[in-house]
Amino acid sequence: METDKKNTVQTELLAIPFSYKDLVSYQSGSVVSRTIIDAPEGTVTIFAFDKGQGLSTHSAPYNALVEVIDGTGVFTIEDKVFNVTSGCQLIMPANKPHSVTANEQFKMTLIMIKAK
């Protein structure tokens, strides 16, 4: 994997069409992630969750946009539970506790823009 030195960008993805869900594969008993853009201004990361996996409750200092790109993810934001299916988006607000659970395999794209 080559990266641009100014910002971390996977150069094999520059100027070609691609599908987010093809960038990560499910792995038994794991959460797999691939960051495709990592810049001072923000990040774009693709996740694949195996059934039963998740991310424990945490918060981030910036709003984060999630798009479920395969399956259904269960998101909890400040004790409110949302089942988000493929093709749907959800904005997780800055500084609010949230978690992610995979009751089935699912993939998501996480876009975080580092601005207040």
For residue 106, the domain's CATH number is 2.60.120.10
Tell me if 2 is assigned to some domain.
no
Mean pLDDT of all residues in 3-26: 80
Tell me if 34 is assigned to some domain.
yes
Query: pLDDT-based confidence at 112, cuts 50/70/90?
Result: very high
Tell me if 3 is assigned to some domain.
no
Tell me if 51 is assigned to some domain.
yes
- Given a cut of 80, whether residue 8 has pLDDT beyond it is no
Domain count, the chain: 1
Tell me if 77 is assigned to some domain.
yes
Q: What is the pLDDT of residues 26-65, one digit of tens each?
A: 999 999 999 999 999 999 999 999 999 999 999 999 999 9
Tell me if 95 is assigned to some domain.
yes
Domain range spanning residue 69?
A: 8-113
Compute the Cα dihedral for 94, 98, 102, 103 and give only its sign: negative
Q: pLDDT at position 12, please?
A: 85
What distances in angstroms separate CA 50 from CA 8, 31, 43, one per listed residue?
A: 27, 6, 22
Tell me if 98 is assigned to some domain.
yes
